[in-house]
Amino acid sequence: MAPTPHGLLGRIQLANESTANRFGPHTAEVEAFIVAAANLTPWQWRQVLTTQRLVGAVSKDPAGGADTARSIQTSIRSSDTRISEPMARAGEILFDALARKGEEKQVAAWQAMSALVMRSQTPALKFAVHYAPFAAVVPLSGSDVLDPRTRRFLGRLDKLSREQLETLTHRWRVEPGASHALLQAVAKNREVKSEEAAALVAVATVPNHLTGDQGWAAVRTLVHGGRVLGAFGELTAQEIAELWAPLEAAIPLASLDEEAEAAAPARRVRAAVDSAVKAITRPPRTRGAAPVPTTKPPAPYGQNSSEVAAFIKGVAELTPIQWLRVLDRRKLVASVTREGTAEPASVVRAILAVIDGTRELDTFGRCRAFAAVERASAGMESRADLSYEQVQDLLAPFQPSIALQGLNGSAFAHRVASLDKGDWVRVAAAAPDANEEAVAPLVNAGSALVDFFGGRSDDEAVATWHAVAALVHRWSLTPIKFAASYAPFASAIPVTNPRALGAWVSRYVTAVGRLGPAQCAVLARPWQISDELSTVLSKAVADGVARTGEEAAALAAVVTVPMRLAGSGGWAAVKTAAFGGRVIAARSRLTAEQLEALWEPIEGAIPLLSLSAPTRARR
């Protein structure tokens, strides 16, 4: 008995059916296409875009279209009735998967995917115009089950000369009787994909020889041939001869059959001989052969990829109140450190401009251009300290596009933002080599945030860039340097798990957050430990066991201390507080005497005894 739609089993069945058809009748193909498009290599994308331009040379409905990626996404998110609900769902997932790709790639993938969603309702030629650019890199289902005659026909299309294709451009007309028989035969064999396969090959092959109206006429004739071959079994010999007449001069119908009759026995004999030779010469199989290990693709944001991804997601969801707190904390941090002026707004804007402008380049070229802009923009900010030759050397990759006269940091950022793709290709070629392993995660993180930066003030953009850059390079920075860059966001987007700190370190971080002016003054006093104690502490923390505690203490100190003590005194107190986090996190590897001696600079502000577990009163 079938489950009722109101029961639990009925609801499960309806949910499964809804999931299986969320993109329409071709859901599986659409899902496979989105996954494949997101993983195409740069070489495959170049192949796709080259084929798209070829198709546009003959098609009256080019795959590129006049729509932009932004207008398409706007239509998807609006109540535009031109885009069906399944297509809108698929479009949202596609654009999310291709968020870091260029607009030309996004639009090409959208055209192909929309044709795939409507595959069963779209004429074969129109479908081929939209999907042909991806046909070679993302093959369609059913393309491998064509009959031998159709496969031989498709193989002939690649070998047609210009003169043969010109014979296909002449006007032709089929007798009404044969045309009616063909329509009936096609209606009975809708599942046959011969016409579609011929259209996909034709729109990608013909433009190599003929373009414009001539090319389009040849394509239509070849598609007609694919339709005839798909209905071959339903037609009489006389109808086939009449319908094949427009193609007979270029591809004689008899040649397809003769090739099958002549080549089939020889092919079978050759296959049998090859099989026997392989069986005789095949080496014996070894039992228990170890499987070949698969290498995982590198994380997009480097060693700290998961936390960077969480930050990118969280920063876009901050409320205005949280942003006010972020900017206030940034001012507090800047009052004791010089991190706020390490990369001024002009440098950050220039960096964001190069990340946005090089989206079409490969990773190696983007890294070279990024490193060149970072060096040059920093040099423009400190131009007064550089000689003319040093400035000229920094701007050498940009010389054809950016003049040196009257250039400062802000003007350089504006000119960098005006460079086009050709300029960036020249900059990447002229720039010195860059450490791709170190720069690529930063470029990827900036690419994920570049649209977010467009609607933010300079202060917000600088604070966000400093934080994400510190997070990308977290494990290569000292804890106090990381804290100085990330502290404004530490409460809004935490990166330290309190449970991983341990009781002693947690109590110490809490005490640092409650420091008063007198305690900060104590921490700001100059102090020195002996070489012997320094060596003991270095050995205790050599494996990084104390990094988390030192980092948490530094994050608390760079926000708390400036409210009590600013300037160089505040920075000295912050460093002492961070040192205390390192000592207390490594206490289990120190003797009681060593711990007391190392704790001496902090004892006057936070007594070591106060960090021990409180004793419970007896009843």
Give CA angle at 31 (25, 36), nearest 5°: 140
List, for residues 282-296, the tens digit of each pLDDT value: 555 544 445 555 555
Indicate yes or no: pTM above 0.75. Answer: no
User: Could you please report the per-residue DSSP string of 67-87?
Assistant: --HHHHHHHHHTT-TTS-HHH
- Directed axis angle between helix 305-315 and helix 458-472, to 10°? 160
Residue 293 has a pLDDT of: 52
Q: Are 34 and 94 in contact (CB under 8 A)?
A: yes
Tokens read off for 273 = 């001989």
DSSP state of 294: P
Residues shown for the chain: 619
* 158 φ/ψ angles, rounded to the nearest 5 degrees: -70, -20
Residue 377 has a pLDDT of: 83
Q: Residue 186 and residue 138: Cα distance in Å, rounded? A: 26
Reduced to 3 states, what is the DSSP secondary structure of residue 596? helix
* 186 φ/ψ angles, rounded to the nearest 5 degrees: -65, -40
Please list the alpha-helical segments (H only) found in 211-252.
Answer: 212-230, 237-244
Half-sphere exposure of residue 164: CA atoms within 13 angstroms, side-chain side: 15
Tokens read off for 11 = 């609801």
The residue type of 340 is G
Residue 296 has a pLDDT of: 59
Q: Are 266 and 187 in contact (CB under 8 A)?
A: no
The full set of domain ranges for the chain reads: 8-135, 148-256, 302-489, 498-611
Residues of the chain with pLDDT under 50: 1-6, 8-9, 12, 15, 63-64, 259-262, 286-289, 340-341
Give CA angle at 125 (235, 165), nearest 5°: 80
Reduced to 3 states, what is the DSSP secondary structure of residue 102? coil
Residue 44 has a pLDDT of: 87
Number of helices (H), then strands (E), in the chain: 31, 0
Q: If we measure between CA atoms, which residue out of 215, 248, 15, 35 comes closest to residue 125?
A: 215
The residue type of 473 is H
